[in-house]
Structure 1
Amino acid sequence: MLKLSVLVPVYNLAVFIEPCLHSLLSQQTNFSYEVIAVDDGSSDDSYRRMQALTAVYPHLLVLQNAQNSGLAYTQQHLLKRARGEYLVYVDGDDLALPGKLQTLADYLDTHPDCSLCYHEAEVFDSDTNKILRHYSRDFYNAKYIPQRASYEHLIRYGCFPNASSIAFRRHEHLTDAVDSKCKIILDHPWHILNALYGGGSVDFVAGVFGRYRIHSNSFGSQTKRSAARREQVLEDQLRACDNAKAFGVSEEVITAGKRHYYFATALYFLKLRDDERFQRFINLSTDGDWFFDARHQLAWRQQLTPSIVAGSLLGALPS
């Protein structure tokens, strides 16, 4: 078995896929690894560009779905072909920095009770190359996340690891961990299940080893253009919490997680100045007795004056 497999889903990323794959295929490691990229029926020339790289990099495997089948199918396709003891996931528009693969593998080697680990990532604007923030350090619930976290933190506090920063151990339920009923958000539900199936900790590995690209068709940009899409994100997050029931996770943890996601959704719409949705979701987030934290309590109590809430919390809202 190989030490590590990198999984890269691709759909209409011709502009970005070559830098992404170069950054992964040029990694210096003391072990053999493979990079598997699956094109999900792109209408641009992503697949041709990927194929051209196989002549230069023998450890690159390029595959293509027969038709556009969605991210869940593509993730399962990648997992079925992966041979690595460790699995690393990278979106096809993001970048790896030197040392990424060696650092993640070394951490999993030396921490056998860790199921999933992740590193810091720069969030950068694709047009200007400007670093906007750091993903985990500047996560709006960062103060609640210890270096050695667990599935419970993923359920309660949201997606504190960047999707393209994660490495996890092979387990017996790799494709089962991909919830194909989630329509927008797949990475967070996936890694809650990876942590539960793996049975170990969720650990932060010090160092910036990746770059998360923001562009006009990135996940966040698409979501900001559609309130309905953001509401579907919430449904996927609620489903991710409910998935934990099958593992015996307490109802208290699941309920707290679901209420937090309603709260986070309310804050999201507050930031967009959508007062109606802010008020609707802040009321769904609590019965008036339970509050996620002081921010939550302030937002609920001042819901009829959204400008006051925004003035108090705007700098700490989820993006």
Structure 2
Amino acid sequence: MKVSVIVPVYNLEHYVGPCLEGLVRQKTSFDFEVIVANDCSTDASLSVINSYLTAYPYIIKVIEQRENKGLAANMLKLLSSATGEYIAYVDGDDMALPGKLQLQADYLDNNPDCSMVYHESEVFDSQSGNITGHYVADYYNHKYIPDKADITHLIRYGSFFQASSLMLRNHPNTDKTVDAKCKIILDQPFQILNAGYLGGSIGRIDKILGQYRIHPDSFGAKTLKDYARREQVLRDQLQAISHGADFYIEQSCIEQGQAHYYLATAMYFLKLGEISLFNKYISLSAQTDWRFDKRHEYLVENRSDVEGCLRVLS
């Protein structure tokens, strides 16, 4: 088996059909499997999944959890079931565009120095159907990311590619790449841990090969409604980059990643007018002498000038 596509699903009855449709229609020169793990959904997700199993029994494999295990346990089950030389991860509410699997597998075949490869993804609003941006090109740290990155870029600059755009080489330590200590963010520790165990570089394909769906129950939409959730996201991100020490990444790189995430959280709350939370996290970001960029330096030195800080972000 060349490629195993792993798809975790929980209560995605309106989205999992288009997700699976994009995968079963992939044209490849090799065999691939699509493994779908339904985490005891309470909606009609399993019915939709089973309809694809009936239509494409030679591609679709279904894991049905009898009780809700949570995303971390569901991911581990998927990884243990993947038999492919390469593993592609796709969230059950995202979509694969034509050519995705072939181009990513070809890239890994042709670049033995790369352990992982990602592609550009369109961001689209599920309710309007409008394309609102591009995940990689619009990433605020895009200018710092080379064509072939590595684990230090993930630690210092954050997750610069969309979760469903990743394909990686299968390896014996996949059971150690899911961090159950993270409550919300599992993609970044997954990326960092795989990069650490595999070594090598992280390649980029600039072609748009996937769509990232924004909907009322998506990660971003939920976070905007809940400040405590955003703070938990930060804790998850800090936990993720702490794994750099497991792979002998310099402590200075990890500290820079910490400062960066405190800065990003401070800017998030500044934009929302939550000044006390802005002050809390911009102060934490200033605990080292390192400054991410001139904007970071300005916010640290002029944190009492809220209007001036807002102008820097505009």
With normalisation by structure 2, the TM-score equals 0.98
Q: Distance in 2 between matches of 1:24 and 1:306?
A: 47
Aligned partner of 1:212 in structure 2 is 212
SS in 2 for 1:310: helix
Alignment of 1:219-230 (within 5 A): 219-230=219-230
Provide the rounded CA distance (Å) in 1 between the counterparts of 2:271 and 2:82.
40
**Secondary structure at the residue paired with 1:129?**
coil
Deviation for aligned residue 1:111 = 0.5
Q: Which amino acid aligns with 1:145?
A: I
Structure 1 unaligned segments of length 5 or more: list them.
315-319
Question: Matched residue pairs, number?
Answer: 313
Q: Are 2:136 and 1:159 aligned?
A: no
Contact persistence 2:4–2:87 (CA under 8 A): yes
SS of the aligned residue for 2:6 comes to strand
Code of the residue aligned with 1:32 in structure 2: it is: D
* 1:20 corresponds to 2:14: no
Q: 1:277 maps to what in 2?
A: 277
For residues 6 and 21 of structure 1, the distance between their equivalents in structure 2, rounded to whole angstroms, comes to 10
Structure 1 residue 241 displacement after superposition:
1.4
- The equivalent residue for 2:34 is 35
Contact in 1 for aligned 2:259/2:288 (Cα 8 Å): no
- 2:45 is matched with 46
Question: In the TM superposition, what are the counterparts of 1:179-194 in structure 2 within 5 Å?
Answer: 179-194=179-194
Whichever residue aligns with residue 149 of structure 1, its letter is A
Q: Deviations along 1:155-184, whole A, 9 cap, x unmatched? A: 000110100100001111001011111111
The one-letter amino acid paired with 1:282 is I
Within 5 Å, give how 1:1-319 maps onto structure 2: 2-58=1-57, 59-287=59-287, 289-314=289-314
**What code does the residue aligned with 1:177 have?**
T
Give the deviation of 1:74 after TM superposition.
0.7
CA 288–192 in structure 1, closer or farther in 2 if over 3 Å, else same: closer
What's the offset of the Cα at 1:268? 1.2
- Extract structure 1 runs of 4+ deviating beyond 6 A: none
The letter of the residue matching 1:284 is L
1:6 CA drift (Å): 0.5
Letter aligned with residue 14 of structure 2 = V
Residues 117-126 or 264-273, more deviating: 264-273
SS of the aligned residue for 1:159 comes to: coil
SS at match of 2:290: coil
Displacement of 1:288: 6.5
Cα distance in 2 between the residues matched to 1:274 and 1:96: 37
- Secondary structure in 1 aligned to 2:30? coil
* DSSP-derived class of the 1:98 partner: coil
Q: Structure 1 residue 289: deviation in Å?
A: 2.9
Distance 1:307 1:127 in 2: 34
Q: Deviations over 1:77-135 (max 9, x none)?
A: 10011111100001100111100000100000001110111000000100111111100
Which deviations, in whole Å up to 9, do the C-alpha atoms of 1:43-85 show, x marking residues without a partner?
A: 1010111011111112101111121111110100100111111
For 1:17, the aligned partner's letter is V
Q: Distance in 1 between matches of 2:288 and 2:95?
A: 43
Deviation at 1:259, TM superposition (A): 1.0
